[in-house]
Amino acid sequence: MINGICRGHFTVTEIELYTADGIRLVGTDVGDGPVALLLHAGGERRTVWAPIAHALAESGFRAIAWDQRGHGDSASDVVDELPRFAEDVAAMLGGVNAMPVVVGASLGGLAAMLALDNASLRGQVASLVLVDVVPDPDPQRVRAFVAEAVPDIAVSPLVDDVLGRADELRRAVSSLDLPTKVVLGGAGPLQDADASRFIELVNHARLEVIDNAKHLVAQQAPDELAAHIAQELERPEVRLRRIRHLLERTGAAGQQHPSGILGDHLQRVGDTLESWRAPDWVVAAGRQESISAVDRMETACVDDPVRRPP
């Protein structure tokens, strides 16, 4: 941690980490609750996420935004290969004591795709939200857009490297076995055919379109994007994934319980609440704690992956 200040009802903390090759990455950690890890587009910096991070914090979530290497306060000359960015995503995930929803815009999304080709890393992620990015965009369209929108990036070897990895990225996303959402800018460079190819690869993925946004959605439609991220953080299957991760990480799932194994007992509690048509957040709470839960489980739930309404 570098420093922290209180802002409104939440705390804003500047954070840092060092990658395996010695690069210092700088980030901002905002709020408390279920976590969204925010990865910006090429040519941007973490401050682009500030309105979204603050909106999430005000809603009871936690947002962590990093300057990617070579951007903002994260200085590095080694920015010409996508695997470097993917390794940084792995380091960011290793620094989160929770199971985040990973939100990747453009370069950030490509880095997340490649990083999550690793099954053990996928096991640390609650959901993936890709913002106006697919693994295999049309190279000519991409080059034309980048040349106009981010001319400094257009001449970077990174563009050639990314475009040359379409097959590798397609293989990576075909292994995605976690909740996945694609949020497209309706006026951006990606087209319906790009989204269709992605859905064919990841047929459980959900598609959302923000009509008034182009490619840099975090800049152009922060309120709408924040709403989509909050919706994902509260999605029942995402909550369940966080809860299972918490039970496994604390060792609580395998504990003995009067009715058998604690993890099985809590699952039954949640199933019963669900059958009673209880609200989603009540069902989620039932899957991780009950009146007969053991003391260790109650202690483990201090790191609570469920956001309860006030």
Cα-Cα-Cα-Cα torsion 158, 163, 166, 168, nearest 10 degrees, comes to: -30
Which residues are 65's β-sheet partners? 28, 38
CA-based torsion, 212, 217, 222, 225: positive or negative: positive
d(CA 117, CA 291): 40
Top-level CATH class of 3-234?
Answer: alpha beta
**Contact by Cβ (8 Å): 230, 307:** no
d(CA 24, CA 19): 7
Q: Across the beta sheet with 10-18, what order do the strands follow?
A: 3-7, 10-18, 24-31, 62-66, 35-39, 101-105, 127-131, 180-185, 206-210
pLDDT in tens, 173-214: 999 999 999 999 999 899 999 999 999 999 999 999 999 999
pLDDT in tens, 258-289: 565 666 657 676 676 666 766 666 666 666 65
Residue 296: its pLDDT value, please? 39
Q: Residue 148 — pLDDT band, cuts 50, 70, 90? A: confident
Domains of the chain by residue range = 3-234, 238-300
- For residue 8, what are its two tokens? 């409104």
DSSP type of residue 67? P
Res. 145: pLDDT tops 60 = yes
Residue 298: its pLDDT value, please? 38
pLDDT in tens, 20-67: 889 999 999 999 999 999 999 999 999 999 999 999 999 999 999 999
Res. 308: pLDDT tops 70 = no
Which residues are 210's β-sheet partners? 185
pTM (predicted TM-score): 0.83
pLDDT in tens, 210-257: 999 999 999 999 999 999 999 999 998 998 898 887 777 665 545 655
**Half-sphere exposure in the Cβ direction for 31 (13 Å, CA):** 22
Region of 174 please: left (phi>0), alpha (psi -120 to 50) or beta: alpha
Res. 111: pLDDT tops 80 = yes
Exposure of 206 by Cβ count < 10 A (0-12 exposed, 13-18 middle, 19+ buried)?
middle
